[in-house]
Amino acid sequence: MSVVASKSSLFTTYKTLGFLYLFFIVGLFLDSFYMVKITENAQFYANTLMIIVFGIIFFRVHHRLKENMIAAVIIAYFGEYLFSILMGMYTYRLENVPHYVPFGHALVYVAVLCFSKATSIKIHHQFLERFFTIFIFIYATVFLIFKNDVFGFVMTIATLFILRKKPRERLFYLTMYLTVVVLELIGTYYKCWYWPTTAWGIFDFLPSHNPPSGISFFYFLLDLGTLWFYKQRHKLAWKRMKNIRKIKLQTST
């Protein structure tokens, strides 16, 4: 049985977010300051593991997700070089863009998508959305008060405000926020990358923590870009799906 069709929410969570979070811990450890003390090839090992895992997942998912994964990798490469190298929004340990990062973005996208679209999860979507929203607000507020993370708090509020009008996508983006929180906390703890003390290291009126709490706001650009690629390649199918949604909405009304 596929993850999306599973009737067990625990099974779905384990096979999507559980696996992903465990992979964060193991994969990023290979590029951590711990490994640097042992070998000069730490990033090479992290890249190798990522490519292997990406390949395994790629050949096991539906063909539509394969397209999304490829699009996510391409968009992530451009995004990483734009935000990290050109704009200096954050900096990786070797001041480059590790190859495991764009491929990692694709895995994050697929795992969060499968979790939020699973039947066993959608049944509880109202509870999860309320719980995630409250947790996210408290998390960002704690960072604001104790870490002076104004930048992260502003992005968090912007995210929650936008999602007020996005009921269909709300669970996906709230889950993405929490997933990015886990990723950033692990990555910065391992010193795989770091964030400056202000937004982009330029805007003094936006103090930032390492990592800022609401940085998932920029991950949404990856998600929107991936969706745009899919819609461009499947215009007729996308139009047909929108018409079906419109008919269902009219019928229910």
Residue 149 is encoded by which pair of tokens? Answer: 């993370």
Which pLDDT score is estimated for 211? Answer: 97
Low-confidence ranges of the chain (pLDDT < 70): 1-2, 4-5, 222, 225-253
Which pLDDT score is estimated for 1? Answer: 46
Does this model's pTM top 0.75? My answer is yes
Which pLDDT score is estimated for 43? Answer: 97
pLDDT tens per residue, range 41-54: 999 999 999 999 99
Residue 143 is encoded by which pair of tokens? Answer: 């960072």
Which pLDDT score is estimated for 19? Answer: 95
Which pLDDT score is estimated for 246? Answer: 61
Q: Using the 8-state DSSP alphabet, how is residue 4 labeled?
A: T
- Burial 144-183, CB ≥16 within 10 A → b, else e: beebebbbbbbbbbebbeebeeeeebbbbbbbbbbbbbeb
Which pLDDT score is estimated for 166? Answer: 86
Q: How far apart (Å, rounded) are the C-alpha atoms in residues 158 and 144?
A: 15
- Please give the biggest Cα pair distance in the chain: 63
Q: How far apart (Å, rounded) are the C-alpha atoms in residues 10 and 12?
A: 5
Beta-carbon count within 10 A of 232 CB: 10
Residue labelled with tokens 């450890």: 29
Helix H or strand E segment including 13: helix 9-13
CB 88 within 8 A of CB 104: no
Which pLDDT score is estimated for 220? Answer: 76
Q: What distances in angstroms separate CA 158 from CA 128, 134, 189, 230, one per listed residue?
A: 20, 15, 26, 26
Residue 118 is encoded by which pair of tokens? Answer: 């699973």
pLDDT tens per residue, range 92-108: 999 999 999 999 999 99
Say if strands 198-199 and 91-92 run parallel, antiparallel, or are unpaired.
unpaired
Say if strands 198-199 and 203-207 run parallel, antiparallel, or are unpaired.
antiparallel
